[in-house]
Amino acid sequence: MRNTTTRVVSLRPTDADERLVGSARRVFQGQISALEGLFERVDGAFASAVHTLYNTPGHVALIGVGKSGVIAKKLAATFASTGTPAFFINAAEAHHGDLGMVTPDSTAVLISHSGETDEVTGLLPHLRGMGIPLLALVGNLDSTLGTGVDVALDVGVEREVCPNNLAPTASTLATLAMGDALAVALMELRGFCSQQFARFHPGGSLGRRLGKPVSTCMRTDGLPVVSPGTPLGEALNVMSDRGMGLVLVMKADRLVGLVTDGDLRRAVQRHDNVMAVPVSEIMTTNPVTVREDTPLVEARSRMQQLKLKALVVLGLDGRVRGVVDVFDGG
């Protein structure tokens, strides 16, 4: 039988532990400084890059090698999942046939912190010969790569957080952050919504969560219900107690109206003795609702379009089943 021992971990920090914690904090501070540098330098070149990517009729090819290649691969995945068709090409493999993945409808985004990586810069004449737009994420705008493309975005950092200032750390974070900023800007430009996001994520927990019906995540207990004649002051207490930012106005077992916190604010401006006003005078009589079998992603998309914080969920019989808000469903 194999001998086993119990490992006891002390919760009292030693001097060595404190040094390790201090090291982590210095790394985080260095990374923060790198991102602050990006914040200060981002300019019109960024907008030009976004428009170029947006107007690409084909795919975006993200090209890099080594650590920059890892970042390029991640960014290609992010672009593809958020509405911008994209793929990754290892720069070394591009010299041996993978360049054939790039078509006249493509845009190429080349990534190299130094801007002098041979495998990357060696592709410039071939890509330029295709007549396609060329973008770069580069740490030196005056480098071969920085001066050899149509739009170069500066992702340079003052130093790496590596104690030897050698291992790509702050520079890879800065490159990743710039790429994510491009992806988000493209999402906003396209009006990319959660329903589209779900279409590109059919598998895994994310796909299951977005595709499930609102009935699986709506709130059903303690719903804030009042009658049409309820004074607004009393309705306000119900709204506060339930914490949903609204009250359902019910007559018998049917929904006849809805009062939100916004309705309350507007009522205060219109009425002197607002707390005595019945909710029937200020309620929305045709509130937006969804059926209990509506996919959560569809409900969220509707809330985004209409700028709503919550939706009333009705059963197939038209009766209230619950309320779903922007935070429900995980």
| Residue of 214, 283, 275 whose CA lies nearest to 248 | 283
Beta-sheet pairing, 320-325 with 310-314: antiparallel
Q: How far apart are CA 117 and CA 111, in angstroms?
A: 9
What was the pLDDT predicted at 189? 85
Note whether 257 and 249 are within 8 A (CB). yes
What was the pLDDT predicted at 99? 93
Q: What is the pLDDT of residues 9-55, one digit of tens each?
A: 555 667 788 889 999 999 999 999 999 999 999 999 999 999 999 99
| Residue of 199, 153, 146, 207 whose CA lies nearest to 176 | 153
What was the pLDDT predicted at 327? 56
What was the pLDDT predicted at 262? 82
Specify the DSSP class assigned to residue 227: -
Three-class SS of 64-85: ECHHHHHHHHHHHHHHHHCCCC
Below-70 pLDDT ranges, the chain? 1-13, 192-211, 326-330
Domains and CATH numbers, the chain: 23-192 (3.40.50.10490), 214-325 (3.10.580.10)
| Tokens of residue 207, six digits | 């796909």
Note whether 55 and 48 are within 8 A (CB). no
Q: How far apart are CA 259 and CA 150, in angstroms?
A: 54
Q: Tell the residue number behind the tokens 């009658």, with chain if given.
A: 227
